[in-house]
Amino acid sequence: MDLSQLRQQIDTIDRQIVNLYEERMDVSRQVAEYKIETGKKVFDKQREQEKIAGVKALTHNDFNSHGVEELFEQIMSMSRKLQYQLLAAHGSEGRLPFIGVEELETDCARVVYQGAEGSYSQAAMRRFFGENVNAFHVETFRDAMSAIDEGSADFAVLPIENSNAGSVVEVYELLKKYNIYIARRIKIEVNHCLAALPGTQLSDIKCVFSHEQGIQQCSSFIHQHNLTAHSYSNTAAAAEYVAQSDPNQHFAAICSNLGAQIHGLQILSDHISNIDENYTRFICISKKPQYSKEDNIISISFSLPHTVGSLYRMLTKFSVYGINMQKIESKPIGNKNFDIMFYLDFTGNLKDENVSALLNDLAADLLQFKYLGNYIEI
């Protein structure tokens, strides 16, 4: 038998596979209609595990066994997609606890930000809420979260990621602990400067103070000038500390130009970041689970079991639903099993039936699943 004949056989088998796949999807549709009538859940983990074990037992070697396992996992993913879409269309599934609004209500809002006056968080807050916003500041990220949780503020603005130094781990940890949702994401350019008391020379400086992110982002400048860096709660607070220090100590702060100006410091060197393009993303969070039609980013968190292919199976869902994943990060949970918490951003809006179906699929399948918000970056 030559190659062309073998290929013809494969083509014939493939047509049979396609016909059987369409027949299976038609039965899946009938299953969804039954579940709509009876109120049953789409995902039955025990049934799927038994099904996978059954089809694997039909194979004759390990290679085919693994192949059939992957094949049927994909087939069942497509089946769940179809069922979730039908259930969502009938209003029987997928009612996420979020309220669609025309736009966020920011008039008369009270806003909290972490850090002192002159911080980048304050600049990000003004970017979204304007100069005349009713705002107050707190010392720590947790304090800002607590202000939202207790109702003393409507929104909080916190840093989440820097293009140079990476994620702000503590904020991710707090998002996991509090029932608070991302309403907007704000990107601003970070321009660090070295500032000290008026009359100070750069050659006098031995110690600098800044937030750990600021120190990381200016590490080349610090090394070049043989400076000793001390971590501080935030860049603006570091500027305030230097402003109140003894002039003979010759302290300096790595902060924003605004921070130096507000605290009466002299800028000794400007644009001292390791790279020219340095941006920080801030999240605007709220206790209200709202989204608007313009929102196009969705964030979630979850954990996965330590089993072969668990991450692969989760990622495959995005391909199945035709949804673009923008970012995924992992953070240790901090338990004896070294479990991992994942944070994931993807493109979408809750009004999209595919998005709603995907979220319900993920929520049913993943451990410690949490929806963090549907928002837009400005």
% of the chain at pLDDT higher than 90: 54
Residues 187-222: tens digit of each pLDDT: 998 889 999 999 999 999 999 999 888 898 899 999
Residue 95's pLDDT is what? Answer: 53
Q: Which pLDDT score, from 0 to 100, does residue 369 have?
A: 92
Please state, in angstroms and rounded to a whole number, the distance separating the CA atoms of residues 33 and 86: 8
**DSSP code of residue 265:** P
Higher pLDDT, 334 or 86: 86
Long-range contact list for 211-214, CB < 8 A, 24+ apart? 211/235, 211/238, 213/159, 213/162, 213/165, 213/168, 213/280, 214/238, 214/254, 214/255
pLDDT per residue as tens digits for the range 270-323: 999 988 888 899 999 999 888 888 999 999 999 988 888 889 889 999 998 999
pLDDT digits over 13-46, tens only?
Answer: 999 999 999 999 999 889 888 887 887 777 888 8
The one catalytic residue among 221, 280, 302, 346: 280
Residue 274 per-residue DSSP state: S
Q: Is the dihedral of CA 314, 316, 321, 325 positive or negative?
A: positive
Measure Cα distances from 57 to 50, 61, 99, 308, 326 in Å. 11, 9, 47, 19, 38
Burial of 246 (C-beta count, 10 Å sphere; 0-12/13-18/19+): exposed
Whole-angstrom Cα distance, residue 99 to residue 288?
Answer: 8
- Above pLDDT 70, what percent of the chain? 98
Q: Nearest 5°: phi and psi at 334?
A: 95, 40
Residue 96 has what pLDDT?
Answer: 62
Quote the Cα angle for 174-176-181, to 5°.
85
Q: Which domains does the chain have, with CATH numbers?
A: 1-93 (1.20.59.10), 99-190+279-292 (3.40.190.10), 195-270 (3.40.190.10)
Average pLDDT, the chain: 89
* Both structure tokens of 217: 């982002």
pLDDT of residue 299: 95
In DSSP terms, which residues pair with 283 in a beta bridge? 158, 185
Check residue 97 and give its pLDDT.
66
Contact 241, 253 (CB under 8 A): yes
- Segment 359-365 shows an average pLDDT of 88
Catalytic-role residue among 282, 302, 342, 369: 282
With a cut of 90, say whether residue 144 has pLDDT above it: yes
pLDDT in tens, 89-101: 776 545 566 777 8
Residue 38 vs residue 249, higher pLDDT: 249
282 is a catalytic site residue: yes
Told to judge if 106 belongs to the known catalytic residues of this protein, a careful annotator would answer: no
Which H or E element spans position 322? none
End-to-end CA distance of the chain: 63
